[in-house]
Amino acid sequence: MPETRWQKGDFAVAKLGLSDDLDRDRLLRVSDLDLVFISFDEPQAEMHWSDMKQKCRRAKRVHGIQGLDSAHKAAASRAETEYFLTVDGDTLVSAEFFNLVLDPTKLSGRSLVTWPSRNAVNGLVYGNGSIKLWPRSAVLSMLSHEMAGQGAPGTVDFGGLFDRIISPDCYSESWTNGSPEQAFRTGFREGVKLSLVDGQPAGLGLANCLSPKPRMRLQIWCSVGADADHGLWSIFGARLGCVLASLDDLDPATINDYEALGRIWAKEEPRSHWQLLQAIRALGDKIRHRLGLAVTELTPDQSRFFKETTEVPEDDPDRAITIPQAAKCGSALDRLGTLYRRGQGVPNDDKEAARLYRLSHSLGCRNGTKNLALMYRDARGLGQNRARAISLLREASKAGSADAPYHLAQMLQEDGGPAATTRTWLELSAARNCQPALTWLARVVEEEGDFARAEELYVRAAELGDEEAERLVHRIRLRPDVRGGKNPSFSASG
């Protein structure tokens, strides 16, 4: 079925008074349409339903119905208007949405209109969790999801059954992380769906077969969200879904079977926090090395930074930010510089990276200042200038950078600087939760015999993803003298 993207200002979604060409007697006001709230077992469903009843006088509800096809047919049966809206149980809708007015001449009996939703875990804005406008008669007669035959259109998505019309405007946010199981299940379903090409797993050729938008979305689902409640379970679910669909011949229709998803969850749920981190990394290695996708393990701060500074436009998903945005935002320039330095989505170009870091520094971005310092230190895109690098690292540290003091301590140690000064910078970086600084400082204080503090520092480093630090925690706890002073037979490197 064809797909259409409305532009802002199109009469397909209009405000009253936008155009005198519209027949005002025929306009569809969103507030006059039936809206059905579809919930199953979402932890936030009751709160979101209460919010919906306050915003929409025509809101109705279906709850607890197994199967997406069956649930949507139940919603269509409850609706009385020719076109009706659906909202998922994990989604909150802005009151502004109910001020919209639609032009029905742009619609047909096969039109499915979607307004994208923002995912609260990873910041993606697209069709997952979207508000939808349906033709009632078409929903009642459709065969989708659990009712579709194997490989038939609509097995994993409604889009193949309708003429999809996509609005550019977002009026909702999807909270898919009300519990570990909800976060895992949502991530798993998207990990599978985004790994399909023409409805079928692409296998080892995934990276080459995916078009830019699904590839970008899959990489973000598999990488971003560690700062959100239960966000690690969302990342783990997305990675597991991708791997099982691409490498283990998982039937894509499994994502429609909530009992099967429950069994997968029951097998994975007993993992401790440390086991979860290790499983995420192990799945990431498979995705990187066997499927060729660039996924990464971000700390909570890195994940939060990504969502706050990165905008992925729908019309250009290969670029992490837009140039006009970058021209106004030091942090965006820094991010773009890092893409050029790493060659991610753009050619590897150290000179361009250095130029962008310099612009970011000029706009007061402490991370851009730190990255510019490292380019001077490593002679990447610039001539080596260690004095300039140290000066910039001091500036970034003063501005609050977490890892600039760590790099400064490294350089001072390499240059034979005073040990006390090196220690001061290292302590500052550790206090700001820089993971390598925590591990380095832990080794130092362990050698000094302060095992209690070393243990605390290793634990903090492990929580930020340092697997070696986790091992070192156990080593300290096994020391026979951990409560009674330093034992010379145990060295920090032993």
Q: Are strands 83-88 and 125-135 parallel, antiparallel or unpaired?
A: antiparallel
Q: Are residues 246 and 203 in the same domain?
A: yes
Asked whether 434 and 402 are in contact (CB, 8 A), the reply is yes
The Cα–Cα gap between 309 and 267 comes to 36
Q: Greater confidence, 468 or 194? A: 194
Q: Which domain holds residue 416?
A: 319-429
Q: Are residues 64 and 128 in the same domain?
A: yes
Give bridge partners of residue 20 from the DSSP assignment: none
> Phi and psi (nearest 5°) for 164?
-80, 130
The Cα–Cα gap between 309 and 492 comes to 39
Q: Are residues 399 and 286 in the same domain?
A: no
Q: Within 10 A of 477 (CB to CB), how many other CB atoms are there?
A: 11
**Is 236 a residue whose pLDDT tops 60?**
yes
Q: Are residues 114 and 13 in the same domain?
A: yes
Residue 1: predicted pLDDT: 52
Tokens of 228: 């959100």
The Cα–Cα gap between 333 and 320 comes to 11
- At which of 299, 328, 360 does a domain end? 299
pLDDT digit string, tens, across residues 85-97: 999 999 999 999 9
The Cα–Cα gap between 421 and 377 comes to 19
pLDDT digit string, tens, across residues 115-137: 999 999 999 999 999 999 999 99
Q: Are residues 48 and 152 in the same domain?
A: yes
The Cα–Cα gap between 302 and 371 comes to 15
Residue 316: predicted pLDDT: 41
Q: Are residues 422 and 475 in the same domain?
A: no
Q: Does residue 64 form part of some domain? A: yes
Tally of domains in the chain: 4
Residue 249: predicted pLDDT: 85
> Minimum mean pLDDT among 27-31, 103-107, 368-372, 416-420: which range?
103-107
Q: Within 10 A of 207 (CB to CB), how many other CB atoms are there?
A: 18
Q: Are residues 38 and 136 in the same domain?
A: yes
The Cα–Cα gap between 341 and 347 comes to 9
Asked whether 177 and 120 are in contact (CB, 8 A), the reply is yes
What sign has the CA pseudo-torsion 377, 379, 381, 383? positive
**Is 477 a residue whose pLDDT tops 80?**
no
Asked whether 189 and 255 are in contact (CB, 8 A), the reply is yes
Asked whether 235 and 221 are in contact (CB, 8 A), the reply is yes
Q: Does residue 307 form part of some domain? A: no
Q: Does residue 60 form part of some domain? A: yes
**Is 275 a residue whose pLDDT tops 60?**
yes
pLDDT digit string, tens, across residues 31-52: 999 999 999 999 999 999 999 9
Q: Does residue 310 form part of some domain? A: no
> Minimum mean pLDDT among 31-35, 376-380, 448-452: which range?
448-452
- Token look-up 């080596």 returns 384
Residue 264: predicted pLDDT: 94
467: part of which helix (H) or strand (E)?
Answer: helix 467-477
CA atoms within 13 A on the CB side of 393: 25
Give bridge partners of residue 112 from the DSSP assignment: 164
Tell me, what DSSP letter sits at residue 6? P
Distance of CA 69 to the CA centre of its chain: 27
- Burial code (b: 16+ CB inside 10 Å, e: under 16) for 49-88 equals bebbeebbebbbbbbebebbbebbbbbbeebeeebbbbbb
**Is 14 a residue whose pLDDT tops 50?**
no
The domain spanning residue 380 has which CATH number? 1.25.40.10
Asked whether 38 and 91 are in contact (CB, 8 A), the reply is no
Q: Are residues 42 and 169 in the same domain?
A: yes
Q: Does residue 452 form part of some domain? A: yes
In the structure, what pLDDT confidence band is assigned to residue 481 with cuts at 50, 70 and 90? low
Q: Does residue 314 form part of some domain? A: no
In the structure, what pLDDT confidence band is assigned to residue 413 with cuts at 50, 70 and 90? very high
**Is 328 a residue whose pLDDT tops 60?**
no
Q: Greater confidence, 433 or 280? A: 280
Residue 313: predicted pLDDT: 45
Q: Are residues 437 and 421 in the same domain?
A: no
Q: Greater confidence, 361 or 313? A: 361
Q: Nearest CA to 435 among 297, 319, 253?
A: 297
Residue 221: predicted pLDDT: 96
Q: Are residues 193 and 256 in the same domain?
A: yes
The Cα–Cα gap between 80 and 376 comes to 67
pTM tops 0.95, yes or no: no
Q: Does residue 69 form part of some domain? A: yes
- At which of 429, 450, 469 does a domain end? 429
CA torsion, ordered 372, 376, 382, 388, to nearest 10 deg:
90
- The residues, ordered by sequence, that sit 6+ positions from 79 with a Cβ below 8 Å of its Cβ are 34, 36, 60, 136
Q: Are residues 357 and 443 in the same domain?
A: no
The Cα–Cα gap between 374 and 380 comes to 8
Asked whether 149 and 99 are in contact (CB, 8 A), the reply is no
The Cα–Cα gap between 74 and 55 comes to 22
The domain spanning residue 116 has which CATH number? 3.90.550
SS3 459: helix
- At which of 237, 267, 299 does a domain end? 299
In the structure, what pLDDT confidence band is assigned to residue 13 with cuts at 50, 70 and 90? very low
Residue 23: predicted pLDDT: 52
Q: Does residue 304 form part of some domain? A: no
Tokens of 210: 């995916």
pLDDT digit string, tens, across residues 145-170: 666 666 666 666 776 788 888 888 89
pLDDT digit string, tens, across residues 43-79: 999 999 999 999 999 999 999 998 888 999 999 999 9
130: part of which helix (H) or strand (E)?
Answer: strand 125-135
Q: Are residues 335 and 371 in the same domain?
A: yes
